[in-house]
Structure 1
């Protein structure tokens, strides 16, 4: 064996020996030693179940030929969505904790491991609802780390498989443009219905009148529309978008869009929302956003854009309180996707890239980003869905984390000059920004 192969072989063996368990086991519940305080799991056990819901009589965007004349009657279909529901479970629940999920290649099924027990008995109590909406393409497990984490803190979390937009059902983009908000609101309605169904495991468990949305990429696009941000005429007219003006149902100022926002939805977190960089909204239509929102972005996002994309949305939603969390030098995957499963670390000829690229960032570690998102989502939802004033210190921060100062005595006494980010251990609030604007600013 040559010296080269002896060295590289030894390095490979060593890398396998020291590989973190979260990578080896495809864990979604990783907690790094430097995780901020609110990233930690809550006190509640967690259960998880799969359910299906069907929205009848929806326009079948995929079957509309954009090159043919507009038909007198648009085709319709019954739109079925699969949901993964995480919920507080009865203490002592035990059993299967595996999640079966497909990768970005749409053919490889993998096993993820978390803390939630499949089909566990629900805990007593009624809990606020959080709806999770993935990107294009994606699936209901992409943000499973966040869903499970929030459920442990007293939320029922419904994560949607958006038909025509998952890895295995990916179809015409126009379907995603039109259906995202409708899927989110139909999920809200169905979770509300099931909470009143004596035959459902969710009976009495969901407070759907107190709901929030977390959307990533196209899910974030949908969250902005659901929150009240109607789209522009320019976006309706794109020849590659929704065919024959079908996106006009979400046009800002239209009767259909004005009727869309639902008072049961109290807040939203929009991670890397797509659309502003292509003028799907403008300063006028974004005035329609009606609920407090938190936005999350990577400062070099080359999919949704930063200055002319996510940051512009944050600046222009002027009628609500809103925040912007920025991961410096992160790209489009900032904060949202779970760690790449080990089976994703390979080049895929059909995709033309490494499958793992769909999940990872070139600068930031996934678990690190996940922990930060868990921390801020806990604070934001705690404030807006639970009215927990103890969350305020975690949201009033020196905007540029690198400029904050750690100044505590050895016994933990805080010095007057201490401005370090609340909940972040010393030296760990680096490379982040958290900015707040009030309604009217």
Structure 2
């Protein structure tokens, strides 16, 4: 299947102190993200970053590459104003772009989060994890994972890759949509992966220069779908990223034949994907490949869980918040091992607590 078509199929199924929208009071039937399990309250803020040295790769006439980034971080105390999951307009465009028309268009904007605006970060330098979402999906689609990692003491940066998703809102009120969805570009997957790697490196430049919260020696990355495919390219081109997780992402660009020696985790639904077999052979360091029974593509973001809550069946057999619970647990264990040096028996053998997860290949 051509790259563009494969991407379309997948899509269908700085300094802390800036401001983010605050959610309105939540009705009892509102969608929700499960509470994170770490010891820290979670704060969040948003950043508008501009790479003046790089024109936008998809809409050159727009000028320099602009990005919106969400930061989640461990806070000293819990706040009083919950952060909004997304705006009503973003909800409308995400649902419309996904072909979901039988629910209120603003329903995703009412999702109850567990992160708070205008809260002071906890002290000390923290490891950083960068999150890259799936093609057409905004950075908010990985909020449940971000909140979990932040509650466990990580700073988390979620990137909106402008013009690659259904909706990105900028501080001046502009809302960009998925211009890349309509481009007729040869080998789009490779170009997109390379562009995302440049986005991530630029964001790392900005964060490591401007934020006192971040330990520059402990940086990891996780991505879902196209974001997952971009993790390997980012690690090949940017040695600052020490460990990476690909969540159900076809590897549109092969890893370098010279190999990647840093830790890498493939975590997917139960499918055969030849690019994972190909790139498994090019991983020369710690490596692990897991599968989640009952999962669908959306299970590795918030949308399997939220789809069930708003009455949209995406085909998963994982009930309630189970997909988020499993994804959070294994991704957290991976970064705890490789960015903090903490032993993780969960990554050594199958767990009776998570019987849905099978070890396909273990190179660790």
TM bracket (short chain): 0.7 to 0.9
Specify the alignment match of 1:388 in structure 2.
342
Q: Cα 1:131–1:438, aligned 2, differ >3 Å: closer, same or farther? A: same
Unaligned runs of 5+ in 2: 1-25, 98-104, 168-176, 182-187
CA distance in 2, matches of 1:190, 1:287: 29
CA distance in 1, matches of 2:315, 2:129: 26
SS of alignment partner, residue 135 of structure 2: coil
CA distance in 2, matches of 1:334, 1:97: 23
SS of alignment partner, residue 281 of structure 1: coil
CA distance in 2, matches of 1:119, 1:367: 28
CA distance in 1, matches of 2:227, 2:38: 26
Computing the radius of gyration from Cα coordinates, the structure with the larger value is 1
Specify the alignment match of 2:100 in structure 1.
none
Q: Cα 1:54–1:63, aligned 2, differ >3 Å: closer, same or farther? A: closer
CA distance in 2, matches of 1:385, 1:275: 24
Specify the alignment match of 2:216 in structure 1.
208
CA contact (8 A) 1:86 1:158 kept: yes
For residues 30-59 of structure 1, the C-alpha deviation after alignment (integer angstroms, 9 at most, x for no partner) is: 5xxxxxxxxx61111110111111112324
Specify the alignment match of 2:358 in structure 1.
433
| Pairwise CA distance, 1:186 | 1.2
Q: Are 1:166 and 2:170 an aligned pair? A: no
Q: Following superposition of structure 1 onto structure 2, how do residues 391-406 of structure 1 map, counting pairs within 5 Å?
A: 391=344, 393-398=345-350
Specify the alignment match of 1:156 in structure 2.
155
Q: Following superposition of structure 1 onto structure 2, how do residues 179-328 of structure 1 map, counting pairs within 5 Å?
A: 179-195=195-211, 204-228=212-236, 260-262=237-239, 264-276=240-252, 280-281=253-254, 285=256, 287-300=258-271, 306-313=272-279, 315-328=280-293
CA contact (8 A) 1:45 1:90 kept: yes
CA distance in 2, matches of 1:153, 1:310: 29
For residues 346-392 of structure 1, the C-alpha deviation after alignment (integer angstroms, 9 at most, x for no partner) is: xxxxxxxxxx46xx443223621110111111111101111112x2x
Q: Cα 1:394–1:124, aligned 2, differ >3 Å: closer, same or farther? A: same
CA distance in 2, matches of 1:23, 1:340: 15
Q: Cα 1:183–1:106, aligned 2, differ >3 Å: closer, same or farther? A: farther
| Pairwise CA distance, 1:93 | 3.1
| Pairwise CA distance, 1:29 | 1.9
| Pairwise CA distance, 1:123 | 1.3
CA contact (8 A) 1:272 1:310 kept: no
SS of alignment partner, residue 29 of structure 1: coil
CA distance in 2, matches of 1:382, 1:275: 25
CA contact (8 A) 1:57 1:76 kept: no
Instruction: Tell me the TM-score normalized by structure 2.
Output: 0.76
Instruction: Tell me the TM-score normalized by structure 1.
Output: 0.64
Specify the alignment match of 1:105 in structure 2.
95
Unaligned runs of 5+ in 1: 1-20, 31-39, 65-74, 196-203, 229-259, 301-305, 346-355, 399-420
CA contact (8 A) 1:86 1:157 kept: yes
Aligned positions, number: 308
Specify the alignment match of 2:18 in structure 1.
none
Specify the alignment match of 1:87 in structure 2.
73
CA contact (8 A) 1:297 1:334 kept: no
Q: Following superposition of structure 1 onto structure 2, how do residues 21-60 of structure 1 map, counting pairs within 5 Å?
A: 24-29=29-34, 41-60=37-56
CA contact (8 A) 2:124 2:213 kept: yes
Q: Following superposition of structure 1 onto structure 2, how do residues 69-84 of structure 1 map, counting pairs within 5 Å?
A: 77-84=63-70
Specify the alignment match of 1:119 in structure 2.
118
Q: CA RMSD in A?
A: 2.7
SS of alignment partner, residue 227 of structure 1: helix
SS of alignment partner, residue 86 of structure 2: strand
Q: Cα 1:171–1:60, aligned 2, differ >3 Å: closer, same or farther? A: same
Q: Are 1:138 and 2:137 an aligned pair? A: yes
| Pairwise CA distance, 1:435 | 4.2
CA distance in 1, matches of 2:319, 2:149: 21
